[in-house]
Each structure stands twice: as structure tokens, then as C-alpha cells.
A and B are shown apart, each in its own frame.
Chain A
Amino acid sequence: MWELPPLARAFVGAVVLGAAVILAYSIGTVSADGSSDLAELIGLFVLMVTVSVYRTKTADGLSVSVGFIILLAAIALLGPQGASLVAVGAGVSSKHTAVQRVFNGAMFVVASFGAGLGWAVTLGEQRLGDQPVGRILSATAVATVVFYLLNTSLVAGVVSLVSGLAYRRVWAGGLSWLTLSYLGYGVFGLLMAEMYRSVGVASAVFLLAPLLVARRAFANYAELRNAYDGTVAALVQAVEMKDYYTRGHSERVARVTEMIAREWGMREDRVQVIKIAGMLHDVGKLGVPTRVLQKQGKLSQLEFEAIKIHPLRGYEMLSEIEFLSEALSGVYHHHERMDGRGYPLGLAGDEVPEFARIIMTADAFDSMTSTRSYREAKSVEAAIAELRRCQGGQFDVVAVDCLVAAVNKHGWAPHPEPFFGEKVDRDGRPIVWTPGSAEEVGHGQGG
């Protein structure tokens, strides 16, 4: 707690204090109420703790939703007081520091109590009974919305106080269409409450098990997904061992390609594909003798033929990677020109595939701005002027426009460290401190 800025410390303190007051009140009412619901309270608490302890390393929306389903079931079965007691279990987690755990627990207590009040007011009673279905569903919706708002605004509060980023920006960063899926999870919480009441705790376990398995599979997916780019980059670097002057070229082309593709407005999955294609566009050069690649001065006809074959070599090598299938055209045609004077096929204008136009522009930009055996590097301004000059002739008009716009926006440095000016993650989103991690803010929760 002592490493937090004073304002953040005060904020965390206030949330914890609020939670403590709620808990004291809840314990008072629940113990005065008698022990009719004690079994349900204990059952839900144990579920909550289990789910929180066995969290996967990778944070994702599923972790949040599983906990939320349990909390909503607790609201429906036990009312606001019982739900706030169950929420304490959400603070238990093996992967956080003590401060984070305390804050998360307190935040969940406050959010569930608030959501429980919203539920009780809409329903007219505290607990699920024989009310009309319409009223039960509206109470569930109200509880979901209140929970979501309290959860995200408290987390965004602490994040913005610690990181110094504007509150609105942090809060809005968590918004997406996925937010709507909370309503679905709310309904599942309600169903779980119904099943819990008619069958018992086992039914809750059966309902949550598939989601827990899904969470695990998703974490495995995320781990492999993160490893993938690193693996490709490392293997490409090994290929570049052969030629001192192209060292880092593939990695930089991948970055420029990604920048152009985003500016182009490509869908995220296609951006990932073209990024990898940019990384791999020159693997075919391995088949060209080093002597030819590094030759200074004019190439003979035969040597030029040897070079011209490299896009085909690359295409052949990569053709078994299904994921890249659309991008293979980008690798094969990255030496075509819009005026039809390129190779290997001499395609022109519209015939040149979209992916190839982007990769060839990125390739040319990086070649011009880095040192080669036969010349010194150009400045970024000079390179852009050169691209502008050949726009429409050698290069695609839109691709060059996108590149210029992206460079103006983010700047360009050949080395990744001072990349975007502010600290960003691999996808170019700002890195912010959260009680959990940056991704969790994206899903609007803190633990």
C-alpha cells in the first residue's frame, strides 16, 4: 500500500472502509435472521473462493464472468447482505499482492451490495420467490447494470489515480460490445440460483464446470498465441544471421506492415495475419547465394534471375501454414509494382493483391531508412518523399497514404524501445497499472 500515491491510498482506504461498514451490517442482519440460509451462504462462499483461487495466469473475460455468475446467484438467493458476505471470497486469489487482494475483495463487496440493493428495490422483496418472471428478469438486469457500473468505476478510479491517466479514458477503455454479455451472465446467475434451490450445490458445480474448463482452455490459447509471435521472430532472426545488413529488417517490416494495416482499417484477425506475413516475406532469400545478396554494384542477368526467384521460394515454404493462406499472395507478390514492371508475374494495378501492396510499401520504407552494404540510410522524411514520388507508379496510393498517416501519428524509430512515445503493450494500447493487469481493465474489473 505504501508504494501507492497518496490520493490512490486514500481512495483504496475509502473503498475498504465502505466495505467494512457493509460487512459489519450484513453480519449483524444475517446472524439476527437465524440460520435458515447458512448452508447456502457457506456453499456459495466456498464456490467463490475455489473459483478465485484457481484462477488462470492469463486474465480474461471468463474469469470475471464466472465470479459474477456466483455473485448474482448469491444476490438472488440471499439478498444484498448475504451477497456481500459471499463477495469477500472474490478477494482471495493466489496471483495478487496483499493490497490488490484487499482492494479487490472490498470492491466486490461494495459492488455486490449495491447490486443487491438494486435487485431488492426492483423486485420489491429481498429474495427470489414466486414473483412474476418479468419482474425477476428486470431485477436481474438492474442488479447486473449496478454491479457493472460500480465495479468498473471503482477499478477505473484506482487505475487513473495510480497511472495519472484521465479517469474517463481509463473507464471508457473497458467498454466494448462484450459488456453486453454481462446481461447473459446475469441470467445464468439467476438460473444457477433456481437450480441451487431445487437441486442443491451440486447443480451449481455442474453449471460452472464447463466455464472453468473453458477458462483453462482460453488461458492455454492465450499463452500459445503470445508465444507464437516470439517464436516466428526468433526463427526469422536466425535466418537473418546470414546477412549482416538485413538484420532486424523482417521484424521492422512486420511493424510497419501492422501500422499500415491498422490505418487501412483491417479487421484485427487480418492484421495479425499480415503482420506475420510481413515478418516472413523474405524467408525465400535463404535460397539466394549470400554473394549475390551482398554484391555491390550492378547485378548480371543471371544474378538477377537468382534474386527474382525468392518470392516463389518463400511462397513454397510457407504454403503449408493454413493460417497464412490469404497472406501468401502478399509474400509471393511483394516485388510487383503497381505499373506492372515488377516481378515475378508483372501484375499491374488492381491485379496486385491488397496484402502485397502493403508489404511492398513497408519493405521499401524500411529498406530506405536502414543502412545497406551499398549505401547509407535515408532519413524518414526523405524516405517518405521518395515513396510519395513513386506513389501510383511503383507503390499503391492508399498504402503510402496509410503509412504516412501512421508515421505522423506514432512516429517511427527503427528500434522498438522508444516506439510510440508513451509506454504501450504489443498491440499499441497504453499500459496502465491495475490491481490485476492491463487486460483486466479491458474487461472492467480489478481482480
Chain B
Amino acid sequence: MAKAAEPVLFRRLLIGSTLLLAVLAVASSVSAGPALRSDVGRPAAVAFCLLIAAGELLRLNLPGDRDASPIGGAAALGYALLIRFDADDVARHTAIDVATVVVVGCAASVVIHLLLQRDTRLVDVASRLLGVATVALIFRPWLDSHPEELLGRPSTTLIAVMVLAALAGGAVTNIVSAAVRASRLRAPYLATLRNEVQAQSGLGAAMASTGILLALSVPKFGLWALLVFMVPLLVTQFSFRRYASISATYRQTIRALSRVTEVSGHVEAGHSRRVMNLSVAVGREFGMTESELLDLEYAALMHDIGQLSLTDPIPRGSTLTVAPSERRRIAEQGAEVIRSTGSMARVAHIVACQANAYRKMRETADVEVPLPSRIVKTASAYDDLVTASREDRGSRAAWDALERLRIGMAYEYDPRVIEALTKVLTRNGDL
């Protein structure tokens, strides 16, 4: 299968955001506002800037290959929402000043990442930057027009505006990063946005809470509050890191062990992996949620595991050539194995149903066959057909395979799945 070309939109965003970062950083450092130069303003700006840089250095990679930088984000938010440096000195920095501090902090961390030769996705940094900019653009002008909020006990209105500004910032970050992600994964935008919100909401809430808490606690405790009140978020980050690492291990292990059918000679080399890639791409076309996609991925990887129970491997491992009853028996065996893991009941169900036809002769579609099963069934059949005829037919093999599937369409295979598969194959350059 041809490797998908790097999406153009993604690259343009990448380059555009890099330029934007650079221009902003240069322009703002030249024109640093008076609020940053004042005696109380400077140490605060430096402290927040350092914390943002440190937070960006400690960024973590969440499941689904997402960058997150809760500590840097909380520090940036805290600076955007800051009202006073202590009991009497009010914070007069503008939205531009906030951008300066955040950009310099991010730029420092990007440079360090580059020096350490770590991958840095500027788009992710840029989308976080846009989020903070939104917060500053909402909150700083509002604060200017409500000077009475600057002193005394924080009012409920002030806290409500802080929360709303943080929510708006989070929304902007998610909207931007979902756009980048949708173009990178070639997935429908709305489904990607929903997945993005689901994946980020927990950590985002923790980050926003901490940011607001920083803004509220600095007037009382001074800049030391930045270190102290960051501790709960450090605990959060630690928990997420552990979760991310066990998720990665789990996924790698399933991928590795799904190769058992290949090593034992039951199926062609690389079959499971190819069926997984096709299935997930098709699943994305249907706008599946991330957890559904993960189940689909596991089911596709292990869809042939039932063949291990066969003493004599089927030629080329293609279940197309065996009787339907035997096919169902193999699928059920595989589902039994997966069920015995004790934690993958949904995956087992998908594998069990993959041998069933989309609908039986002269009957309506079988509602009992779940969509993921129909996808795995179609993707697996396609891969078997292509592999079988590649030697003779060369580049025509994909067309032939698809044609064979279309003949079985409406009974054996779901027409909508074939349509989505065609779309995916066209995009990958296989057709």
C-alpha cells in the first residue's frame, strides 16, 4: 500500500504558524509594554515566562499521539488572568504583553527541544498559543473596563468571567487542533472535534482550574504561589503519564502478539497490520469515536487468531476459500480467545460477528452484525484478494479485488463499507 502523502493543509498550517510565532516574538520583544518594565511587573513576567518554558519542556504525549502541556498552559492562563501582584500592586499588562511572555516562554522551550533533538510539532504549540491569546483578548480588556474588580476580595462576577474566558480559550485550542488533526488523519472534521474534546477535557479542566487558582493566589501569597499551587497539577500530569505509558504498552503488545498467526504460517505476512490500517481508515470515514476506533483496531489485528486452532493452515490464510460454517467456527474460536482476556468483550464481539454475511439471501440487512465487524470483514477480504492476485495482475489487483467485493455486495458485504473503502484506497493511491 502506498504511504499516504503528507497532507498539504497540515504543512501550510505548520509553516504559517512557525512564521506567526517568529514575527510575534520579534515584534513583541521590541515593543515590550511599560507594564512589563515596571518594578513589580518585571519579576512576575520573568517568573511566569520561566514556568511556561519549563511546562513546555515537561510536555507529555497522550494516547492518540496528542501533545499536551498542562503546566505551561496553566502558567500562561494564570498570567493572562492575573489581577494583582500582591495586596495593593495591580497588574496592568495588556493582551499583547501576555502574548509576549507566552511566546518568549514557548520559543525558549522550542529551542531547547530542538537542541535536545526532540520532535516538536509547532502546530500544537501554536494552537495552545491561540487559546491563551483568546483568553487574554477576552479578559484583559474586560478588566480595563472594570477597574473596581482589581482590588479587594475577588467578586463572583470576576471569577465567572475568568471561567468563561478559560472555556473560550479551551474551545479555540480544540477547534484549531481538531482542524490540524482532521487534515493529518484525513477524518471528518466534526467527529475529530468531538474526539478532541473528549480526549482533552479532563486534563484541560485540571489545567484551567490551576491557571485560575494561580491568578487568584498570587495576590495573597506572592510569586511563591506559582510553585506551590502547581503541585496538584504535577500529580495530575504524573497520573496521565502513567496512563499514557500503559496504553502505549498495551497497544504495542497487541500489535506484536497479533503477528502470531503470521509467524505460525496461518496467514500471509503483514496481513493483520494491513487489515488494521484499512479498517481504521474506513472507521474514521464513518466518524467513529476514539474508543470505537481502538476496539476496531484490536479486532482487526486479531481477527484471524481463531485460525491458530487449525492443525493445517488454510492456503494463504484466506478464509474466503472455506465454507461459511467453518468460517464462523474459526471466528468464534478467535472471539473465545479474546474473551478470555477478561477485558475485551467488545473486541471479542466484533471478531465473533465478522464471519456473518451483511444480510442473508432475500432478507433485509442483518442488524445483529455490528459496523466494526462489517468493516473488518470487508478489509480482510480485500487484502486476501489483492495479495492473491498481485503476482499476475500487478497494479490491476486492487481494481479486481474491489470488483470481486462489489459482486458480493449487498449480501456478503455492506455497500456503504465498500464505498468508504473505495474512498480510502483512492486517497492512498492504490486505485
From B3-11, B245-253, B385-393, the one touching the partner chain is B245-253
| CB atoms of A323 and B252 under 8 A apart | yes
From B170-178, B198-206, B369-377, the one touching the partner chain is B198-206
Cβ of B278 within 8 Å of any chain A Cβ, yes or no, is: no
Contact of A283 among B231, B260, B338, B344 (CB under 8 A): B260
How many Å lie between the Cα of A277 and that of B235 in the bound state? 30
Q: List 29 A-B contacts (CB under 8 A).
A: A195-B216, A198-B153, A199-B159, A200-B154, A200-B159, A203-B213, A203-B216, A206-B216, A207-B232, A210-B209, A210-B232, A213-B202, A214-B240, A215-B239, A221-B239, A227-B250, A228-B250, A230-B341, A230-B343, A231-B344, A234-B337, A234-B338, A234-B341, A237-B337, A286-B263, A318-B256, A321-B252, A322-B252, A323-B252
From A139-147, A238-246, A251-259, the one touching the partner chain is A238-246
Contact of B232 among A188, A238, A320 (CB under 8 A): A188
| CB atoms of B263 and A313 under 8 A apart | yes
Distance in angstroms from A324 CB to nearest chain B CB is: 8
The interface of chain B, by Cβ under 8 A from chain A, is: 153-154, 156, 159, 202-203, 205-207, 209-210, 212-213, 216-217, 220-221, 228-229, 231-233, 235-236, 238-240, 242-243, 245-250, 252-257, 259-260, 263-265, 305, 308-309, 311, 337-338, 340-344
Cβ of A202 within 8 Å of any chain B Cβ, yes or no, is: yes
| CB atoms of B308 and A239 under 8 A apart | yes
A238-B308 contact in complex given A198-B220, A202-B159, A210-B210, C-beta closer than 8 Å = yes
A320: chain B residues within 8 A (beta carbon)? 252, 255-256
| CB atoms of B238 and A206 under 8 A apart | no
Q: Could you mark each residue 296-321 of chain A with 1 if its beta carbon is under 8 Å from any beta carbon of chain B, else 0?
A: 00000000000000000100011111
| CB atoms of B342 and A234 under 8 A apart | yes
How many Å lie between the Cα of A321 and that of B258 in the bound state? 12
Which bracket fits the contact residues of A? Answer: 35 or more
| CB atoms of B243 and A286 under 8 A apart | no
Contact of B243 among A209, A217, A241, A284 (CB under 8 A): A217
Contact of B239 among A199, A217, A227, A283 (CB under 8 A): A217
Cβ of A218 within 8 Å of any chain B Cβ, yes or no, is: yes
Distance in angstroms from A56 CB to nearest chain B CB is: 11
Contact of B209 among A205, A227, A230, A235 (CB under 8 A): A205
Cβ of A224 within 8 Å of any chain B Cβ, yes or no, is: yes
Known: A200-B153, A205-B209. 20 other contacts (CB 8 A): A184-B231, A188-B232, A194-B221, A195-B216, A199-B153, A199-B159, A206-B209, A207-B209, A210-B210, A210-B236, A213-B236, A214-B235, A227-B344, A228-B253, A234-B342, A283-B260, A286-B264, A290-B311, A322-B248, A323-B252
| CB atoms of B243 and A220 under 8 A apart | yes
| CB atoms of B253 and A287 under 8 A apart | no
Residue from B265, B305, B308 with most neighbouring chain A CB atoms (10 Å): B308
Contact of B260 among A184, A227, A286 (CB under 8 A): A286
Cβ of A409 within 8 Å of any chain B Cβ, yes or no, is: no
- Classify the secondary structure of B's interface with A: helix
How many Å lie between the Cα of A216 and that of B243 in the bound state? 10
How many Å lie between the Cα of A319 and that of B254 in the bound state? 13
Residue from A206, A215, A217, A233 with most neighbouring chain B CB atoms (10 Å): A206
A169: chain B residues within 8 A (beta carbon)? none
A290: chain B residues within 8 A (beta carbon)? 311
Cβ of A211 within 8 Å of any chain B Cβ, yes or no, is: yes
How many Å lie between the Cα of A242 and that of B337 in the bound state? 13
Cβ of A46 within 8 Å of any chain B Cβ, yes or no, is: no
Cβ of A271 within 8 Å of any chain B Cβ, yes or no, is: no
B253: chain A residues within 8 A (beta carbon)? 228, 231-232, 321, 323
Cβ of A267 within 8 Å of any chain B Cβ, yes or no, is: no
Distance in angstroms from B81 CB to nearest chain A CB is: 11
| CB atoms of B341 and A221 under 8 A apart | no
| CB atoms of A217 and B236 under 8 A apart | yes
| CB atoms of A210 and B243 under 8 A apart | no
| CB atoms of A237 and B264 under 8 A apart | no
Residue from B159, B240, B243, B254 with most neighbouring chain A CB atoms (10 Å): B243
Cβ of A375 within 8 Å of any chain B Cβ, yes or no, is: no
Contact of A214 among B239, B245, B264, B343 (CB under 8 A): B239
Distance in angstroms from A54 CB to nearest chain B CB is: 13
How many Å lie between the Cα of A224 and that of B342 in the bound state? 11
Contact of A241 among B209, B252, B257, B308 (CB under 8 A): B308
Contact of B249 among A208, A313, A321 (CB under 8 A): A321
How many Å lie between the Cα of A191 and that of B250 in the bound state? 39
How many Å lie between the Cα of A199 and that of B154 in the bound state? 6
| CB atoms of A231 and B254 under 8 A apart | yes
How many Å lie between the Cα of A227 and that of B257 in the bound state? 15
Residue from A208, A238, A321 with most neighbouring chain B CB atoms (10 Å): A238
| CB atoms of B153 and A287 under 8 A apart | no
| CB atoms of A317 and B232 under 8 A apart | no
Cβ of A62 within 8 Å of any chain B Cβ, yes or no, is: yes
Give the nearest-CB partner of B202 in chain A.
A213
A228: chain B residues within 8 A (beta carbon)? 246, 249-250, 253
A188: chain B residues within 8 A (beta carbon)? 231-232
B340: chain A residues within 8 A (beta carbon)? 234, 237
Residue from B159, B202, B263, B337 with most neighbouring chain A CB atoms (10 Å): B263
Cβ of A426 within 8 Å of any chain B Cβ, yes or no, is: no
In the complex, chain A residues 163-206 whose Cβ is within 8 Å of any chain B Cβ: 184, 188, 191, 194-195, 198-200, 202-203, 205-206
Cβ of A415 within 8 Å of any chain B Cβ, yes or no, is: no
| CB atoms of B246 and A224 under 8 A apart | yes
How many Å lie between the Cα of A200 and that of B157 in the bound state? 13
How many Å lie between the Cα of A203 and that of B238 in the bound state? 23
Contact of A242 among B236, B308, B341 (CB under 8 A): B308
| CB atoms of B246 and A225 under 8 A apart | yes
Distance in angstroms from B41 CB to nearest chain A CB is: 23
B248: chain A residues within 8 A (beta carbon)? 322-323
How many Å lie between the Cα of A111 and that of B140 in the bound state? 46
